[in-house]
């Protein structure tokens, strides 16, 4: 699979727009561009069963965040709190910046 540029990056606040977690918002903690998936803090929790090992002598059941496909999330505009699409433009110093297509604010 070829690696594509994604519309989100680590640290962005996003809203889930499809799936079981629809309507919930959270911060991206990991991005996998190869598989086009993002992991969102506190969302899409799955149960993992761990056998006792040297590292984890107790073992047990834990909840971890599972990745969500990038097409199922939308960036939340920090100013308005609404979802928005992003685009890129050059600023006055010639550096590229991401901005909200709804408000024109830099994200």
C-alpha–C-alpha distance, residues 97 and 95, integer Å: 6
Per-residue pLDDT tens for 73-86? 999 998 888 999 99
pLDDT at 1: 58
Q: What residues does each domain of the chain span?
A: 1-75, 77-107
Report the CATH architecture of 1-75. Roll (2.30)
Residues counted in the chain: 107
pLDDT in tens, 22-57: 999 999 999 999 999 999 999 999 999 999 999 989
Percent of the chain with pLDDT over 70: 98
Residue 107 confidence class, pLDDT cut points 50, 70, 90: confident
Q: Cα-Cα-Cα-Cα dihedral of 94, 95, 97, 102, to 10°?
A: -10
68 pLDDT exceeds 70? yes
Q: What is the mean pLDDT of residues 62-70?
A: 95
Output the pLDDT for position 5.
Answer: 85
CA–CA distances in Å: residue 12 to residues 7, 15, 45, 48, 70: 10, 10, 19, 26, 12
């Amino acid at each position: 699979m070829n690696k594509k540029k994604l519309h989100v990056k680590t640290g962005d606040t996003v809203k889930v727009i499809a799936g079981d977690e629809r309507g919930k918002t959270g911060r991206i903690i990991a991005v996998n561009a190869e598989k086009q998936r993002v992991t969102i803090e506190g969302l899409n929790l799955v149960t993992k069963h761990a056998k006792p090992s040297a590292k984890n002598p107790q073992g047990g059941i834990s909840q971890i965040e599972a990745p969500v496909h990038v097409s199922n999330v939308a960036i939340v505009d920090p100013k308005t709190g609404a979802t928005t699409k992003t685009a890129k433009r050059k600023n006055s110093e010639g550096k590229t910046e991401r901005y909200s297509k709804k408000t024109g604010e830099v994200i």
